[in-house]
Amino acid sequence: MARTGRPREFDKEQTLERALELFWSRGYGATSIQDLVDALGVERGSLYAAFGDKRRFYLEAVRLYWEVYERHLITALDTSPLLPALREILTHPARLDELISDRGVPQGCLVGNTTAELVPQDSEATKIVTRSYRRFTDILAGALRRAQAAGEVTDTHPPEAQAQLLLYVVQGLSLVSRAGLDRTAALAAIDTAVDGLRA
């Protein structure tokens, strides 16, 4: 049983990654199926067969984006002292690598972009986005709690409030950076935020 048919000619995971790049740089609405066909080298019918309609395709890309980012976040923050790592995280919100760099244009955080474009109209997008924000604050609050206990971070405010504030900072930085990034000003702001947490 389960006769297997003709094998897929393209790598599904890799195609999703490339679609993610396109969706990330252009947004959901401004990326047409034709754009995807051209960029991915996969015909329309195959895309529909593999990923369902455009919306599902996009949401899948957002899921992948967050999955990668979350792994990065957990790894990076599992350290002591926390604040230098936190500073790193804050300087890399949009691109996992090069937000503050010369190459490439900052394109924000895909979760944040999705928030602006699809939320709250699209309920599934809202669920993904809400969940991502929740994970972010949970992970940060955990790290901050440990750092408070270690005396590295001030305990004048609860770690949850500090984590929520950092979510705003990251998302704000990601968004504003799309309009052009002044590295010096951004770094000064980040340092102000990080120093505000110091015990």
Residues that bind a copy of itself (CB under 8 A): 26-27, 29-30, 105, 108, 112-113, 115-117, 119-121, 126, 129-130, 133, 156-158, 160-162, 164-165, 167-173, 175-176, 178-180, 185-186, 188-193, 195-197
Residue owning tokens 């604040």: 83
Alpha-carbon distance of 129 to 111, in angstroms, equals 6
Rule CB under 7 A: which of 44-73 touch DNA?
Answer: 44-46, 48-50, 53-55
CA dihedral 138, 140, 119, 19 (to 10 degrees): -110
- 42 binding DNA? (CB under 7 A): yes
DSSP character for 119?
Answer: T
Rule CB under 7 A: which of 161-180 touch DNA?
Answer: none
Q: Which of 6, 13, 123, 180 binds DNA (CB under 7 A)?
A: 6
Percentages of the chain per state (helix, strand, coil), in multiples of 5: 65, 0, 30
- Interacting residues of 180 by C-beta distance below 8 A, sequence separation 6+: none
* Cβ distance to DNA smaller for residue 31 or 115: 31
- 10 binding DNA? (CB under 7 A): yes
38 binds, among DNA, a copy of itself, none (CB under 5 to 8 A by kind): none
